[in-house]
Chains A and B, each alone.
Chain A
Amino acid sequence: MSYSELPSASVLLNFAIAFFVTFAATPIVAKVMRRKRIVGNDVHKVSRTEVPEMCGLAILIGLVSASVCFVAFYPGTYAYVAAFIGTVLIGGSIGFVDDLRPLGPRTKPVLTAIACLPILILRTYNSSPVIPLLGPVRMSLVYPFLIPLAVAVCSNSVNMMDVMNGSMAGTVGIISLMSTIVLFAAGKTELASLSAGLLAAMLAFYYYNRYPAKVFDGDTGSLAVGAAIAALAIMGGIEIVMMVALIPHIMNAFYGLSSVGRLYERREISNRPTRLLQNGMLQASADRGSPITLARLILAAGALREPEVVKAMMVLTLISSLLGVLTYLITLGGRV
């Protein structure tokens, strides 16, 4: 069976399994984390509520379970599924270590680049990415060297967007919906199915992580999800489309890095980009030394409640995802 001949039901199968497993696993993981006192304070609440950390493990469990069932039904997709699971698991493992013992601001990006190894080893990539208005560009020698960079940028950008209740799950949910549609339209049903699994895991996790959050995904979840997005982009040959959809995440990371002038960890920044008011609203810091993050940009026009900031992030991601679809349509047009 050729990959493109997979039945459309395969997309629904992966979606359903990933959704139910993540939905069921999240409260169990949260209970374990709370018992082990792996908790974090919700810094955007006046009460600074304690919330179980590292619950992104449930996303990993959901994605891996769905992918394993998927490959059992459709063994022909083994290479893609193995590369996807491998990348996600390595990304998640780095996040797991970082959650327990924080890695340095330089170590983390370098380590996340390693997550691309399964894609390189199984050769599940096409070294001729399609550039809008340019068509496919042969990059046989350079492309494998760009893959680690893409995975590191993607996972760390998603990780840096994980700042408020539901911000990571909500925005990545929108992006994975876009990638599922684009990959399905491109006839890459096996990858559309994996993307649908990611969408389902995000929806299920968002239910618990939305304001007021009952769980935090931690770096375990955000780095794994970022690696999953990079894997889908590389294996599906939709690198530029995904880059456009990720504009808010890249904006957030780029502004932060360019205003601080170096790689940094959130916890080491003393001048916070936003500050919490007594009434529970968030305000942009006017301090010139604070990093200009996406949240600070949204709050520049006045104070907002946390769920309103997250909603704004999701609207911006929806716009960038629509631009991603437009980019895909332009690439279909071929070379100018």
Chain B
Amino acid sequence: MRRLLPLAFIEVFVWLMLLLGAFVIARVVFEINFGTSTFILTLITDGVRTVVSAGILFGWVVAWKRVTHYYFWRAVEHQKST
């Protein structure tokens, strides 16, 4: 079933992006530190970490959707032309 190859690639892409996201969150986002000496600084640190992590997650979802839409409409156009 050769037609499954692009979908299998999308699956692997989604999986790799998930791992990459986890890696970036572990290595970069969790290193963000504005200090923890006061409650406000702790709040800012945790808040920024959460917002940046949510941004990465959002980017992951958008990339996933774009790749899939690109494949789908390209395949449909190809079918129409043949």
Contact = CB atoms under 8 A, between A and B. Distances in A.
Interface in A280-309: 284, 286, 292, 296-298, 300-302
A258 B79 CA distance: 24
Contacts of A131: 22, 26
A300 to B, nearest CB: 4
Interface residues of A, number: 32
A247 interface: yes
B72 interface: yes
Contacts of B71: 297, 300
B23 A133 contact: yes
The prevalent SS among residues of A at the interface is helix
B32 interface: no
7 contacts: A255-B68, A292-B69, A300-B71, A300-B72, A300-B75, A312-B4, A315-B4
A296 B73 CA distance: 11
A134 B64 CA distance: 22
Given A301-B3, A301-B75, A315-B1, A323 B23 contact: no
Contacts, number: 82
A132 B14 CA distance: 14
Interface of B: 1, 3-4, 7-8, 10-12, 14-15, 18-19, 22-23, 25-27, 61, 64-65, 68-69, 71-72, 75-76, 78-80
Contacts of B80: 286
Nearest to B82: A302
Nearest to A259: B69
B72 A298 contact: no
B72 A296 contact: yes
Contacts of A297: 7, 68, 71-72
A134 B22 CA distance: 7
The prevalent SS among residues of B at the interface is helix
Given A284-B79, A300-B75, 20 more contacts: A132-B18, A133-B26, A134-B25, A251-B14, A255-B65, A297-B68, A297-B72, A298-B3, A298-B7, A301-B75, A302-B3, A302-B79, A311-B1, A315-B1, A315-B4, A315-B8, A316-B11, A320-B15, A323-B11, A336-B23
Q: Which of B12, B27, B79 has the most CB of A within 10 A?
A: B79
Contacts of B69: 292
Q: Which of B12, B61, B68 has the most CB of A within 10 A?
A: B68
A314 to B, nearest CB: 11
Interface in A314-336: 315-316, 319-320, 323, 327, 330, 335-336
A244 interface: yes
Interface in A252-266: 254-255, 258
Nearest to B8: A319
A153 to B, nearest CB: 13
Given A292-B72, A316-B11, A336 B18 contact: no
Nearest to A318: B8
Contacts of B19: 132-133, 327, 330
Nearest to B14: A247
Contact of A134 (B11, B15, B26, B61): B26
A264 to B, nearest CB: 17
A286 B19 CA distance: 34
Contacts of A109: none
Given A248-B11, A286-B80, A312-B1, A258 B65 contact: yes
